[in-house]
Amino acid sequence: MTDSKTRLLIVEMDDAFRRHLAERLRAENFNVYEACQETEARQVIQRKVIDVVLLGMREFKQGGLMLLKAIKEMKPLIEVILMTPSDGASLIASIQAMKLGAFDDLHIPFDMKKLMERIAAARQRKQERENTIKEEHSG
């Protein structure tokens, strides 16, 4: 893994939760962008280099799945980690999200250490996929 900071986008409608999470991750030396709505998230993804998206599913519901699909269509190498509520309804959404290419899902509330481990694993996977593509094009 390179020494550059992991570039994260947090997409979450709950302002207090998003800001607190962004603050914690910046303190851990992540480069964090924030979006509270789908349009804003799409703009960040188009304009910035993003490694991992943390996608809050609590308020987005089916819209979150549509956004996940859009992210994967725009930038297929971006890894997406869902932040889902711990209820039965989110299980169905999680399964659908995995089929659409989500990297993982974490149930809220989650442990910060666990979140950082999953972010590191997601970034590692993105870099491996980028390297594979580079090797295919150079060879």
Q: What does the pLDDT read at residue 88?
A: 67
SS3 for 78-132 is: CEEEEEEECCHHHHHHHHHHHHCCCCEEEEECCCHHHHHHHHHHHHHHHHHHHHH
Q: String of b and e for 99-138 (b: at least 16 CB within 10 Å)?
A: ebebbbbbebebeeeebeebbeebbebbeeeeeeeeeeee
- Per-residue model confidence as pLDDT tens for the chain (139 residues): 445 899 999 999 999 999 999 999 999 999 999 999 999 999 999 999 999 999 998 876 678 899 999 999 999 999 999 998 877 667 788 889 999 999 999 998 999 999 999 999 999 999 999 999 999 988 7
Q: What does the pLDDT read at residue 60?
A: 67
Torsion region of 13: left, alpha or beta (phi above 0 gives left; psi -120 to 50 gives alpha):
alpha
Q: String of b and e for 12-28 (b: at least 16 CB within 10 Å)?
A: bbeeebbeebbeebeee
Which CATH architecture group holds 7-138? Answer: 3-Layer(aba) Sandwich (3.40)
Residue ranges of domains in the chain? 7-138
DSSP 9: E
